[in-house]
Every structure is written in structure tokens, then in C-alpha cells.
A and B are shown apart, each in its own frame.
Chain A
Amino acid sequence: MLKKISNIGDCGITCDFGDEVNKKTNKEVIKLFNFIDESVKNKKIRGILNYTPSYNKLIINFDLEQVKSKELIEFIKSNDYSKTIFSEQSKILEIPICYDEEFALDIKRLEEKTKLNFNEIVKEHQNTDFFVYMIGFVPGQPFLGDLKNNLYHDRLDTPRVKINKGSVGIVEKFCTIYTFESPGGWNIIGKTPLDLFNIKNKESSLLSPGDSVKFKSVKKKDFLTFKNEELF
């Protein structure tokens, strides 16, 4: 349920669905996202620049020359978006991952914090059936859940200035894959050779919210010789 709408600066609002992060809440967010998408395409509301779903929030950015937050908030409150369809996609993608120590930058710290050894962490990660909650941070980057709570860990206090493309990181019950070299604060446990994003494709992102993901361990020599074309 939509709990609260607040302003973010003068050209954004956030629609807050509460603190719970689970599939049920996330589907409500996607419903409102779909409703805004339809409203923009059918020209029922003007000036909308971006609408970005996350686990439990939808953030909407607009052009202050065309619309103000008051008008947009009234538009959302006066429409029943709950009937908008959430299309559950059943795509299951297997993602290769190499847990070699060269790539698993934070595994030592995780071993200390979680009291699990390397093999236990890897096994736990591979056995998880992940749900794609959202895409973002950088293009095509998926946010996956849910890990069991024995792997929970906070993000780094000071984010790294540079994390390599393909790095797989975990924070709390979530897992992500860095699709581009970027700064970031997640605990890195491995790396995938698979390209998840290509701007030239009609659907630029390989994954969409609602998809399922499983990780499959690959040896370092297979990682180094992996060819992306084979998968498309």
C-alpha cells in the first residue's frame, strides 16, 4: 500500500510503500510505475522526466517548467492505480560467477563477520533463488534478493572509488552485479564474465524486475575464456 508521498527537492517526489522489503511490496511499487508509464504515454500527465522504482519506493522526477509537485501528487492520489496489471515474468537466468580470491575482494572480512568459511559462503550464495527487485545504480545493474540472514552484512563505511565491471557484491539480504566500472560500497564476493547491458539492444537490459536468477560457479580459466556471444 502507498503510505506516504514526499517532496525530493523542487523537481521530484517519492511514493513510499513502507519499510518492508519483500516481493509483495515491490509488486505494488511496480504497479504504480506501470500506471505512471501508461499515464505518460497516454499524455494524461505532462512534464514527467523519469520514474524510478526501487524495493519499496517510486521516485518521480519532473520538469518544473511544465508541472509542479502539488499537481502531480493530486494526480496520483485521485487515481486508482491498483488495478494496473503487474506482469509477472518467468524468465530464469543462470549467471556464471567466479569466486576466485582475485575477484572476491571482501570474502575475508565476510568470513570474520559471518563466522562462515569461504566454501559455506559460496554454497549459500549459489543455492539462493534470487528475485530481481529493481535495475539501476548504473545501466542494467540488477538488485537481487533474498539471501538467508546468516550472510547479512552492512555496506562499506567509505565506498570504493572504483569497482570492476562484472563484480558481484552483497549487502544485507541483497546481491548485485556491477555492470560497469563504478564507485560502490558493496561487499565483493566474485565476478561474472556475462554482459548484462547493451545500449544497442531494443531492451538494453538483460534483466527486468520480476525475473529470477541463479548463480553458477565457474573456474578462473573458464572465466577468462568466456565469450558473451555464445549466450545470445
Chain B
Amino acid sequence: MKNYFKILRPGINSTFQDTGRFGLQHLGIAPSGCMDKSLFFLANKLVGNEISEGALEFAYQGPLLELVGESALVAVSGKVNFNIINNNGEIKQGIPYESFILSSGESLDILSTIDSVYGYLSIFGGFKLEKTKGSISTLVRAKIGSNNGEKLRLDEKIFFNKSSQNSKINKFKFDFENDTTIRVMKGLQYDYFSKKSQGDFFSKEYEVTKLTDRMGMRLEGKKLENMKSKNIKSEGITKGSIQVPGDGQPIILLSDHPTIGGYPKIANVITADYDKLVQKTPGSKLKFKLTDLSVAESAFKDYIKKLNFF
């Protein structure tokens, strides 16, 4: 176990993630998994891994890590400002979407994501992680998964598998989706809301607030008026559901969502727009656009096609 990263700064919310942990929602275990699947896949492809290999996800400010041991092929995906610091302390600006060799003693300083929230660090051969009930994903709230279910912490070591075989540099061009329209389908309790509020939901802007994390995104905007009942019988939750509690301000449930919830849901974000959604920073303004199942399914086809293109 001589190949590892030493964590010199953990970052704000750095966790190991893969595509998620499934089949346990009936015991209250959320799927979790990477927030932005496109960037996660891309990070793995850049270093030649299987696309489902565990990667390090960071939000806003990422970690500062020093490589100890053999050099390794690594890559950063996302709109990310990062530096590579060599043994002499010289600083070189890093380039996202381009894999590179990091040598022993060199550090990777992931300073921040730019106008976005999440980015990924991958390494050829993968990090040394153990699966818990089928996945390496970390669910911090329940202390489940890699790194004892915790975010990265200062001074800890994260080990990776020996990776010297691959030194093939890959480079992709990735266009971030900047538009602010999020397509949704009607939620199970859409009819609970007044005609006026249904209209407001699709015409007014909603602002992403600071109370946003891997579990949910709280929005602020025109109050949504519930005409029927502010409480429903608690029912299973699906990622991307937009629930509206009694105060009339919507909350979008994200990857670490509660498995069951008792607030009415006005809409559901379609899968093809989820990656775009989770990258919206607090203060961003969103607009929701109503769509139907057939449009959502064909948008998903295009989304997958785009992912497979890389």
C-alpha cells in the first residue's frame, strides 16, 4: 500500500461516488451516486477506466492532494480551476478534460469549480475502495460507503490501485449546458395546486438558494398555493421530484434524497436535464418547462448518445 494521495486540504464536500447503490430503497437507503453522470463518465473515460469505476466528486472548492508512490495517470472533469504543483514548488495551471501524468511528490490543487458545482477526479486503475451493499458511493448523512461514509478529511491517505501500465493521454471537448430551462413532467399531486400557481410555476423564475446539497435543492420564488392538502400519505421518492411543503417554496430532491416523503409533488425533472440542474449554483435562476413522457424519453436517447460519443 505505497501508492496514495495525502490530503493536504479536503475541500468542502469531497466524496467517492459511482453510479449509485440500488435495490435498498425499501430499507431507507437512497441511491446516492454521482450528481453529474456526464462528468463522472467522462472522468473515467479520460483515464481509460470502466465508466462505472469509483471517482472522487468535489463541490465548489475541491481538495489539495499530494501523490506518494508511483506516478499515475489522472484526469479532472468539470468547469474546474486547478493547479499542478511540482517538486520544486512550481505551479502549472491544470487543464480539465485532459488526462495527465502526476509524479511522486507532485500535488494537485483543485481550487474551485467555475459557475458550476460539481467536478470529478479520476485515476487510471481506480481508487482502492470497498463496496458496501454493491456500491462504493458515499452517503454521508447515513455514514454509508467509502471512507467510512465520510467526506474527505485533512491528513488522511487515499489509496489507489497500481496504475503505471497506462500513460495514454486523452483529451475531450465538453460543452457545458448553460441554459436555465429545466424540463419537467407533471408530478403526482400536480392537481393539488391552484390554476394560478400551476401557471406561475411554468412562467416565473425560481432562484437556487444556499440550502442546497447532494440531498436537495431549495428554491425561492413565487409561492405555490396548494388548494387540496399540504400533507399527503408519505410515499416513495424518485430523484428529481419537486416537492412543495406548506410554505409554498419548491424543493427538488437530488441523489441523496430521502427515500420517502410526505409533501405534495408538483413536477419531476426529466432524466436528460438532471446533470444540467445539479450544476446550478446558489443565486442561479431556473425556469421550468412542461413536457411529456415521449419527449422525455427521446431527450434521454439524445443524452445517452452524447455520452457514448466520448
Contact = CB atoms under 8 A, between A and B. Distances in A.
Contact of B269 (A9, A56, A138, A156): A9
A132 B227 CA distance: 31
B114 to A, nearest CB: 28
B292 to A, nearest CB: 9
Contact of B22 (A50, A54, A141, A199): A50
A157 B246 contact: yes
Given A9-B296, A158-B245, A54 B231 contact: no
Interface stretch (B46-54, B121-129, B236-244): B236-244
Contacts, number: 166
B236 A14 contact: yes
B262 interface: yes
Interface residues of B, number: 51
B26 interface: yes
Contact of B260 (A52, A171, A179, A199): A52
A193 B55 CA distance: 36
Contacts of A23: none
B108 interface: no
Query: Could you say which of B28, B233, B238 has the most chain A C-beta atoms within 10 Å of its C-beta?
Result: B28
Given A10-B296, A68-B297, A137-B261, A50 B23 contact: yes
Contact of A137 (B144, B230, B259, B293): B259
Contacts of B75: none
Contacts of A197: 28, 142
B246 A138 contact: no
B293 A7 contact: yes
B262 A171 contact: yes
Given A53-B236, A134-B260, A139 B144 contact: yes
A55 B236 CA distance: 10
A114 B133 CA distance: 44
Contacts of B24: 50, 204
Given A171-B262, A179-B28, A59 B144 contact: no
Interface string B229-265: 0110111111111000111000000000011111100
A56 B268 CA distance: 20
Contact of B234 (A10, A55, A179): A55
Contacts of A56: 233, 235
B68 interface: no
Contacts of B270: 9-10
Contacts of A69: 293
Given A64-B297, A158-B246, A8 B25 contact: no
B290 interface: no
Query: Could you say which of B185, B237, B238, B300 has the most chain A C-beta atoms within 10 Å of its C-beta?
Result: B238
B158 interface: no
A210 interface: no
B262 A9 contact: no
9 contacts: A50-B26, A53-B26, A56-B235, A61-B238, A65-B304, A134-B234, A140-B27, A180-B141, A199-B144
Given A137-B259, A154-B231, 20 more contacts: A8-B241, A9-B296, A10-B185, A12-B238, A40-B23, A49-B31, A52-B260, A56-B233, A137-B261, A138-B141, A138-B142, A139-B142, A155-B230, A157-B230, A158-B245, A159-B245, A181-B141, A199-B133, A199-B144, A204-B29
Interface of A: 6-12, 14, 19, 21, 33, 40, 49-59, 61, 64-65, 68-69, 134-141, 143, 154-159, 161, 171-172, 174, 179-182, 185, 197, 199, 204-205
Query: Which 7 residue pairs of A and B lie closest in terms of their CB atoms, listed nearest first?
Result: A59-B236, A9-B268, A52-B236, A157-B246, A136-B260, A10-B296, A50-B25
